[in-house]
Amino acid sequence: MNELQSWSLGVVPLITAVVLKIIGAIILYMIGRWLISLAIRLLDTALTRRNFDATLQHYIASVLAIALNIILVISILGYFGVETTSFAALIAAIGIAVGAAWSGLLSNFAAGAFLIIFRPFKVGDFVTAGGVTGTVTRIGMFATTITAPDNVETIVGNSKISGDTIQNYSTHAYRRVERTAQLAFGVDPLDAIARLKAELAAIPNVIADPAPEVTILDFNERGTQLAVRPFCHTDHYWQVYFDTNALIARVFGAAGFPGPFTRHDITNRS
């Protein structure tokens, strides 16, 4: 009987302490969960008032909820006397790894905000951005979709676009088509210029103002080189580009101009 009393006197306080610990842990968990829910609601309310993107808002709330729940569990383990230093170090290492992995996406997101706010281009513009030339079909939070003239869709990270040179061919009402025409030695360049100018305006979609330009560009080992420059809207650029090539060949052929060749003069001094 004395042994039973001694045992009960030793065990009962221990059980009581454990039960109190468990009750305290439950109360701590309930309070923690309530605080986490409150924090998430406050965050959702603040982001909603600022018209934040719903998908990204849900993602941020989920990440915050997971992080706070992990902190709550570690706190409860510490309350029970469990060594939590190793847990904290592990979580910190995981956080650093995840942060490094997501740093690229975060930079893309920030660059996407730059593109949307400052609008260097819009959907439908023909641009060169991030090393890709084509028509912008979508500007997303993390990437921009560009469709090239050969109908290849390319997705470019927004950070690459914002960190590179952007050329927007759709900003102005027209652009200049750059072509050259090589004349052979003996061909009068002024006659060739007059013939080309008379025909260039007839190419479909070539605008009258500014008028097409044809001028002497350079002289080389094959003769005179002309610069042929009609103007058109960017939507018609490639049509005017190829029609100009065909026009040069047709006009020079009709005029009977000889084909250009490289001439070498050899002097015999013997």
pLDDT above 70: residue 11: no
Q: Helix or strand or coil: residue 226?
A: strand
192 in a structural domain? yes
Q: How far apart are CA 160 and CA 108, in angstroms?
A: 8
Give the chain's mean pLDDT: 83
Are residues 82 and 157 part of one domain?
no
Lookup result for tokens 């920030």: 110
Q: What is the CATH number for 150? A: 2.30.30.60
Q: Is 47 left (phi over 0), alpha (psi -120 to 50) or beta?
A: alpha
Which of 69-83, 134-148, 186-200, 244-258 is the least confident region?
A: 69-83
Are residues 85 and 109 part of one domain?
yes
Q: How far apart are CA 73 and CA 25, in angstroms?
A: 10
pLDDT of residue 5: 56
Q: 112-144 pLDDT, tens per residue?
A: 888 878 889 998 999 999 999 999 998 887 889
pTM of the predicted model over 0.85:
no
The number of residues in the chain equals 270
Domain that holds residue 212: 175-255
Q: What is the count of structural domains for the chain?
A: 3
- Mean pLDDT is highest, among 4-13, 63-72, 257-266, for 63-72
48 in a structural domain? yes
